[in-house]
A = this chain, B = another copy of it.
Amino acid sequence: MGLTKTEIFSEQQNEIAVFAKAFAHPARVAILQHLFKMDNCVCGDLVIEIGLAQPTISQHLKELKQLGLIKGNIEGTSVCYCIDRENWNRMKKLLNEFFDQDISTSGNCC
């Protein structure tokens, strides 16, 4: 099939999965790291920096934009991307709640 059965999971579980998908590719990790490092928002520089073809980078940027993790601004012929800090923090909070559910101190079988 190849089709995820999203309807049998909770909204929270699906949201975690969707955000995680954003980081599930090293190119998108690299893009986000670069956008954090640069103060002035880069754009076509990412193509040179990362070493993938322009359509490939453009596609990854589109996915990150659709998720709301980055924003794009047209400046002449070039487009300037940067982190959407509000949504980034929302995502951070959601994933940290998931990471920090390890409250139990009791032993288990393993």
Contacts and interface: CB of A to CB of B under 8 A. Distances in A.
A83 B108 CA distance: 9
Contacts of A20: 20-24, 29
Given A9-B29, A21-B24, A95-B99, A40 B82 contact: no
Interface string A1-45: 000111011100110110011111111111011001101110000
Nearest to A1: B56
Nearest to A51: B8
Interface of A: 4-6, 8-10, 13-14, 16-17, 20-30, 32-33, 36-37, 39-41, 50-52, 71-73, 75, 80-85, 88, 92, 95-96, 98-102, 104, 106, 108-110
